[in-house]
A and B are shown apart, each in its own frame.
Chain A
Amino acid sequence: MDGTGAAPLAQRCFFIVAWLLVGCLIVQFFLVGLDLFEAIGESELHRDFAYVYGWLTPILVLLATVAGLPRRVLLLTVALLVLYAIQTYLPTIADTLPRIAALHAINALLVFWLAVQVARSVPWIPEPGGTAGR
């Protein structure tokens, strides 16, 4: 597969993965509720699910690079990866730095907002002579 064929395919994969991530985040918010209100007894669905879809963020960075997406989109995608990594780290410091760990909820809003911005930044069909390769 040559470079001109790989970039549009990578862009379409980026589009799918980005919106899949947004969907997973919405499900993740619902799982918080299930755990909080003990709808299915005591569970850690929220924590476990985070590790299921967490790998989507590094894949997005990889796809953005292969697709040759504009620098702005690539930076947003890297920022999303960083914020997501912070998000998984924050609960682990709940005992030592509880006030910092409490930012987990606000950071969740940020992650979601950024994920939507990333997903909306790339069209399904690559624009002719457009974003890819810039």
Chain B
Amino acid sequence: MHVSRVVFAALAWLFVGLVVLQVFYAGMGLLGGAGMRQHVDFGYFVSGVPLLVLIAAGAARAGQLALYSAGLLVITFVQTALPLLRDDLPFVAALHPVNALAIFWLGLFIARRATTLARQRVEETTEPVQARPTAT
């Protein structure tokens, strides 16, 4: 259980890091003269990571955090779909950056909570080990 919670926290932080990198690629596309291809391709890769976060949350029995992870998966999926609406529903497509903000915020929230959860397990598992020498 402890290992799965550490993995959950690690994956959540990995996702936050990838989101930051993805935002940088957006900046490179818009102001860096690199074009948006890298941002688009990397976006499809990043969008798969919340599924791993959700699976890890389930394995870690993270309770409510698993629900938040499911929400993260949904809004990340929506994120990849939004630019496709630019011709038919441009005002909806325009929510792409706002949704990116929501993804970043929710990812950060999950990562911080998952870290707290993993630390709690560390304290619980190390306490009996520390107590053993005095008991024997």
Contacts and interface: CB of A to CB of B under 8 A. Distances in A.
Given A26-B98, A33-B97, A112-B101, A105 B24 contact: yes
Nearest to A116: B105
Interface in B97-118: 97-98, 100-101, 104, 108
Interface of A: 26, 29-30, 32-34, 36-39, 90-91, 94, 98-99, 101-106, 108-109, 112-113
B83 A98 contact: no
Contacts of A113: 108
Contacts of B46: none
Which size bracket describes the interface of B in this complex? Answer: 20 to 34
Nearest to B87: A37
A26 B104 CA distance: 13
B27 interface: yes
A33 B93 contact: yes
B86 A37 contact: yes
Given A98-B31, A99-B32, A102-B24, A29 B98 contact: yes
15 contacts: A26-B101, A29-B101, A30-B98, A32-B97, A33-B93, A33-B95, A33-B96, A37-B96, A38-B86, A101-B32, A102-B30, A105-B24, A106-B23, A106-B27, A112-B101
Contacts of B26: 105
The secondary structure that dominates the A interface is helix
Given A26-B98, A98-B32, A103 B27 contact: yes
A29 B97 contact: yes
A98 B83 CA distance: 24
A109 B17 CA distance: 12
B90 interface: yes
A109 B93 contact: no
B24 to A, nearest CB: 5
Contact of A34 (B27, B91, B101): B91
Contact of A91 (B31, B91, B95, B96): B31
A57 to B, nearest CB: 18
A106 B29 CA distance: 13
B104 A33 contact: no
Given A34-B94, A104-B27, 20 more contacts: A29-B100, A30-B94, A33-B95, A33-B97, A34-B90, A37-B83, A37-B90, A37-B94, A39-B90, A39-B91, A39-B93, A39-B94, A98-B28, A98-B32, A102-B24, A102-B30, A105-B23, A105-B27, A106-B27, A109-B104
